[in-house]
C-alpha cells in the first residue's frame, strides 16, 4: 500500500484486528481514496497536503503517480506562497488550471519550476471553518478546458470523505499530523519482463524506467548503444550511471514525459562521436524508451518527424533552460522598471541565446518600448507610441494573451505580409506579459538563425514571460509610488532659502539610494529680521512616507515657534510636546541655532543631533561641544540647554545629518573628526562649491561601503556687516 509513515494520529498506537494502528488505518483509507480518485478521473498524479498551522506551511503527506524523489521539491509549500496549492487553502475554493499557458499567466513561478504541458486541480480539505489541507491532481495538457461533471463529482466526493476522516480523528482526540511523505502503490523493480525475447528482435534499443527513473529493463541493443553492460544499468538512473547524460536537461526530459504523459524526444552525444536519439513514451506505471543512432544535429539534411529526433538548438543545449530559475531570482530582486530592463537584457538574453529582445508595455492605448537590444534602431522607434489597434504579431499577443512562435522569417511574413522590420532576424517568439489579471505588454525575442521551438522550450519561455510580467508590474508600481514619495519629500523641503544680509548660505540634500526608503532628513533657514536668522537641521527616525510626513510637521512647528520669538531651548521644548501630542512612534533629532549677525554669535540647542562643526577664519576647525538633550518625541517634560558660540566674520558653521558622516563599521566620533578635517583642508572656494565637495566625498564613501542614508547639509558663512538695517531680535541673556 506504500511506504511506512505518511499520517500519524497523535498518541494513538492502538492495534486493530489486522495489526494496524489507528494512524495506519487513516493512512490506508486516505491511500485508497486518493488512488481511487486518480483512477476515476483519469489523472496521472495525485497528492494530499496537510496544513501545519503553527508554521503556516502545507506539507505533502501522500502522493501517487510519481516518486518521492520527484515530488520532494513540491512537498513543502508556504501558505502565503503565490502557488495553486496555497491559494486553494487560503481562499477556500477550487483552483483549476487548464493549461501551461494559463499556469504561466496566473502562477508564473510555479510554471517556471514546472515547465510541462499539464492541467491541474487543487481543492481545499475543510470542515466548516477548519482548514485541514489540500488535494492536488494533475492531468496531461490534452485535458479538456474544463472538468467534466463526473470528474467534479468524484473530486468533491473524495474531498469530503478525506475531510471527514480528518475531522473524526481530531474529534476523537487524535488529530492527524504530517510525518514522512509516503508514495502510494509504487511499481516494483523488475530485472526481466515478459516480452523480452520480442524486444531482442527489434533493430533499435528499448528500455523501461519506473516512476523513480530507474532502469527496470533494457534489451541488448540498448546496452550496446549506451556503451555499458546490462547488469551495470539495471536499477540505476540513466543520468547517474552514464556520465554523458549527467546534465539536468536530460533528467528534465524524463520529468517532462512523466508530468505531461506525452512522447518526449531528445538527442545526446555519447563520446566520442556517437549521436543517439531518445524518445520517451510514458504511462501510469513508468516510461518506455526507444534509442536509435542518429546523425549530428543539422548535418543530415533531412526533415525529421518532430517526435523522433528534433535538432538540438542553442536553446535546448544542456542546462540552458535551468538557468531560467536563477534568472527569475534576478527579476525578483529588480526594483524599478530600469532594473527589470537591465536584468532582462543583460542576464536573460545570453542564457536563452537570443540576438534580439524588445520589452513592450501597453499604456493608455499605445505601446511603450521599455527596453530594446539587438534589433535595428528603427524597430524600437516604429513600436514606440504605436496604437494597440495596429496589426502586428506583438499587438496580437497583447490582445489575445497567447504566445506565438515563428520558427523562421517566412512563417512570420505569411501571417503578417506587410512586416519588413525584422530583416536581420530569422525566427521569433512573442511572449505576452500577463499580470494582475490582464496583459500588460509583450516580450519579443529574435533569433539570427531559424529556430524550431520544442514544446518544452515553448513552455519554459511562456513561463519566463509570466515572471517578467510580474516583475515589470511590480517595478511600475514601485516607480509610481517612489515618484509620489519623492515628490512629497521634495515638497516638504524648502525650495528657496531666504536672503539674510551678512550671511552666505549653501544647502545640499542627497536622498538615500535604497529605492523607496525615503527619509525624514530636513533643514531650514528662517529669517527673523535684518540681522538675525534661525538655522535648523534634523532627522526623523525611519525611512518611509510616515517619516517624511512627520518631518514636514516638525519643520512647520519649528518655523512657527521661531517666528514667534521663542529662544532655542523653548523652540525644541514646544516642538517636543507637539510630537508627544501627535502620538507618533517616530523620534526626531533636531539642532536649532539662533544667529545674531550684528554681534557675531550663535545660540545653539540640540535634541540628540550630531554636533555642528565650526571652521574659523584662519582655517582651523572645531567640533562644537553643545549640551545634548533627548530626542524629540520621547519625554513630554524634556528640557534643553543652550550653548553660546562666537561667529567671527569669515567663519563657516556646518550643520549636517548622519548620512554625511556615518559609514557602517566605523566609529561615529572618528567619522565626524574626518568631516572636520575635510572642512579644514578644503581649498578656498565659494560656499556652494564647498557644499558640493563635502557631499560628493560622502557619496563616494557610502558607494564603496554599499550603504546609504539621506544626506542633508547646511553651510552658513558669516560676512562683515558694513551697514545693518533694523535691530536684532533679543534671544535672552548670554551665559
> Per-residue pLDDT averaged across 528-543, rounded?
89
Which of the two residues, 140 and 723, has the higher pLDDT score?
Answer: 140
State whether the Cα torsion 535-541-547-549 is positive or negative: negative
SS3 142: coil
Distances (CA, A) of 92 to 88, 126, 704: 6, 8, 50
Instruction: Tell me if 421 sits within 8 A of 413, measured CB to CB.
Output: no
> Per-residue pLDDT averaged across 484-509, rounded?
81
Residue 10 has pLDDT above 70, yes or no: no
> Per-residue pLDDT averaged across 586-599, rounded?
94
Give me the domains of the chain, ranges plus CATH numbers.
7-183 (3.30.450.40), 196-293 (3.30.450.20), 323-484 (3.30.450.40), 493-718 (3.60.40.10)
The b-or-e profile of 179-202 (16+ CB within 10 A means b, else e) is bebbbbebeeeeeeeeeeeebeee
521 pLDDT band, cuts 50/70/90, is: confident
| DSSP-derived secondary structure letter, 13 | -
353 pLDDT band, cuts 50/70/90, is: confident
- Quickly list H helices, 564-686: 568-582, 668-681
Residue 542 has pLDDT above 80, yes or no: no
Instruction: Tell me if 398 sits within 8 A of 383, measured CB to CB.
Output: no
> Per-residue pLDDT averaged across 479-505, rounded?
78
pLDDT in tens, 204-218: 999 998 888 889 889
pLDDT at 4: 36
Instruction: Tell me if 445 sits within 8 A of 464, measured CB to CB.
Output: no
pLDDT in tens, 123-150: 999 998 899 999 999 998 889 999 999 9
Residue 50 has pLDDT above 70, yes or no: yes
Residue 648 has which C-alpha cell? Answer: 567671527
Range with top average pLDDT, 278-292, 447-461, 601-615: 601-615
> Per-residue pLDDT averaged across 80-87, rounded?
90
pTM: 0.53
DSSP bridge pairs for 428: 406, 446
Which of 512, 487, 732, 426 shows the shortest CA–CA distance to 605? 732
For residue 440, the tally of other CB atoms under 10 A from its CB is 19
48 pLDDT band, cuts 50/70/90, is: very high
488 pLDDT band, cuts 50/70/90, is: low
pLDDT in tens, 32-44: 899 999 988 989 8
Which of the two residues, 346 and 14, has the higher pLDDT score?
Answer: 346
pLDDT in tens, 605-622: 999 999 999 999 999 999
> Per-residue pLDDT averaged across 485-493, rounded?
68
Residue 202 has pLDDT above 50, yes or no: yes
3 pLDDT band, cuts 50/70/90, is: very low
pLDDT at 194: 57
Residue 90 has pLDDT above 90, yes or no: yes
Cell 467534479, located at residue: 152
Residues 6+ apart with CB under 8 A from 251: 213, 237, 239
Helix, strand, coil abundance in the chain, percent, nearest 5 = 35, 25, 40
> What is the end-to-end Cα distance of the chain in Å, rounded?
92
Amino acid at each position: 500500500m506504500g511506504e511506512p509513515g505518511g499520517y500519524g494520529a497523535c498518541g494513538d498506537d492502538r492495534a486493530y484486528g489486522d495489526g494496524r494502528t489507528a494512524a495506519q488505518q487513516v493512512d490506508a483509507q486516505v491511500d485508497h481514496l486518493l488512488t481511487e480518485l486518480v483512477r476515476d478521473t483519469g489523472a496521472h498524479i495525485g497528492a494530499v497536503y496537510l496544513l501545519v498551522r503553527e508554521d503556516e506551511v502545507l506539507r505533502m503527506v501522500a502522493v501517487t503517480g510519481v516518486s518521492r524523489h520527484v515530488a520532494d521539491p513540491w512537498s513543502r509549500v508556504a501558505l502565503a506562497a503565490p502557488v495553486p496549492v496555497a491559494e486553494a487553502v487560503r481562499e477556500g475554493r477550487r483552483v483549476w488550471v487548464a493549461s501551461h499557458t494559463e499556469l504561466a499567466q496566473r502562477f508564473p513561478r510555479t510554471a517556471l519550476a514546472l515547465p510541462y504541458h499539464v492541467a491541474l486541480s487543487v481543492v481545499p480539505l475543510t470542515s466548516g471553518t477548519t482548514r485541514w489541507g489540500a488535494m492536488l491532481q494533475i492531468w496531461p495538457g490534452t485535458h479538456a478546458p474544463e472538468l467534466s461533471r463526473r470528474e467534479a463529482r468524484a473530486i468533491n466526493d473524495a474531498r469530503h470523505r478525506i475531510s471527514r476522516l480528518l475531522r473524526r480523528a481530531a474529534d476523537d482526540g487524535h488529530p492527524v499530523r504530517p510525518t514522512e511523505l509516503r508514495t502510494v502503490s509504487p511499481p516494483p523493480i523488475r530485472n526481466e519482463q515478459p516480452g523480452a525475447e520480442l524486444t531482442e528482435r527489434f533493430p533499435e534499443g528499448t528500455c523501461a524506467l519506473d516512476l523513480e527513473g530507474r532502469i527496470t529493463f533494457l534489451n541488448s541493443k540498448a546496452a550496446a548503444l549506451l556503451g555499458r553492460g546490462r547488469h551495470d544499468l539495471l536499477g540505476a538512473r540513466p543520468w547517474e550511471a552514464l556520465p554523458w547524460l549527467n546534465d539536468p536537461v536530460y533528467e528534465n526530459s524524463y520529468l517532462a514525459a512523466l508530468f505531461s504523459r506525452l512522447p518526449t524526444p531528445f538527442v545526446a552525444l555519447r563520446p566520442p562521436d556517437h549521436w543517439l536519439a531518445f524518445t520517451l513514451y510514458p504511462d501510469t506505471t513508468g516510461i518506455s524508451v526507444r534509442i536509435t543512432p542518429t546523425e549530428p544535429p543539422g548535418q543530415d539534411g533531412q526533415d525529421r518527424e518532430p517526435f523522433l529526433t528534433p535538432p538540438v538548438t542553442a536553446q535546448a543545449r544542456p542546462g540552458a533552460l535551468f538557468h531560467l530559475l536563477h534568472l527569475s531570482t534576478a527579476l525578483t530582486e529588480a526594483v524599478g522598471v530600469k532594473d527589470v530592463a537591465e536584468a532582462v537584457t543583460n542576464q536573460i538574453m545570453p542564457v536563452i541565446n537570443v540576438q534580439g529582445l524588445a520589452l513592450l508595455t501597453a499604456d493608455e492605448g499605445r505601446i511603450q518600448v521599455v527596453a530594446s537590444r539587438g534589433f535595428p534602431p528603427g524597430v524600437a522607434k516604429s513600436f514606440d507610441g504605436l496604437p494597440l489597434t495596429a496589426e502586428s504579431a506583438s499587438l496580437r499577443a497583447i490582445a489575445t494573451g497567447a504566445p506565438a512562435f515563428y520558427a523562421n522569417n517566412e512563417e512570420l511574413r505569411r501571417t503578417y505580409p506587410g512586416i519588413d522590420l525584422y530583416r536581420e532576424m530569422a525566427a521569433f517568439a512573442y511572449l505576452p506579459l500577463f499580470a494582475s489579471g490582464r496583459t500588460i505588454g509583450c516580450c519579443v525575442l529574435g533569433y539570427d538563425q531559424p529556430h524550431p521551438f520544442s514544446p518544452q522550450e515553448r513552455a519554459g519561455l511562456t513561463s519566463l514571460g509570466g515572471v517578467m510580467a510580474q516583475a515589470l508590474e511590480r517595478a511600475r508600481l514601485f516607480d509610481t509610488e517612489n515618484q509620489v514619495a519623492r515628490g512629497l519629500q521634495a515638497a516638504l523641503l524648502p525650495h528657496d532659502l531666504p536672503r539674510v544680509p551678512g550671511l552666505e548660505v549653501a544647502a545640499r540634500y542627497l536622498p538615500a539610494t535604497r529605492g523607496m526608503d525615503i527619509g525624514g532628513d530636513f533643514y531650514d533657514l528662517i529669517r527673523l529680521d535684518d540681522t538675525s536668522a534661525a538655522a535648523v537641521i534634523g532627522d526623523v527616525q525611519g525611512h518611509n512616507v510616515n517619516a517624511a510626513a512627520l518631518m514636514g510637521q516638525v519643520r512647520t512647528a519649528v518655523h512657527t515657534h521661531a517666528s514667534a520669538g521663542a529662544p532655542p531651548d523653548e523652540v525644541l521644548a514646544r516642538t517636543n510636546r507637539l510630537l508627544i501630542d501627535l502620538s507618533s512612534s517616530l523620534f526626531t533629532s533636531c539642532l536649532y541655532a539662533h544667529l545674531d549677525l550684528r554681534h557675531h554669535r550663535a545660540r545653539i540647542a540640540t535634541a540628540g543631533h550630531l554636533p555642528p562643526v565650526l571652521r574659523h577664519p584662519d582655517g582651523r576647525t572645531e567640533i562644537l561641544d553643545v549640551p545634548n538633550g533627548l530626542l524629540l518625541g520621547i519625554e513630554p517634560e524634556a528640557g534643553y540647554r543652550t550653548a553660546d558660540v562666537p561667529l567671527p566674520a569669515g567663519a563657516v558653521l556646518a550643520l549636517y545629518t548622519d548620512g554625511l558622516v556615518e559609514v557602517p563599521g566605523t566609529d561615529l566620533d572618528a567619522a565626524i573628526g574626518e568631516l572636520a578635517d575635510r572642512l579644514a583642508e578644503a581649498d578656498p572656494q565659494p560656499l556652494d562649491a564647498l557644499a558640493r565637495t563635502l557631499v560628493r566625498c560622502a557619496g563616494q564613501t557610502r558607494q564603496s561601503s554599499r550603504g546609504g542614508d539621506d544626506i542633508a547639509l547646511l553651510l552658513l558663512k558669516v560676512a562683515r556687516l558694513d551697514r545693518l538695517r533694523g535691530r536684532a531680535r533679543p534671544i535672552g541673556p548670554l551665559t
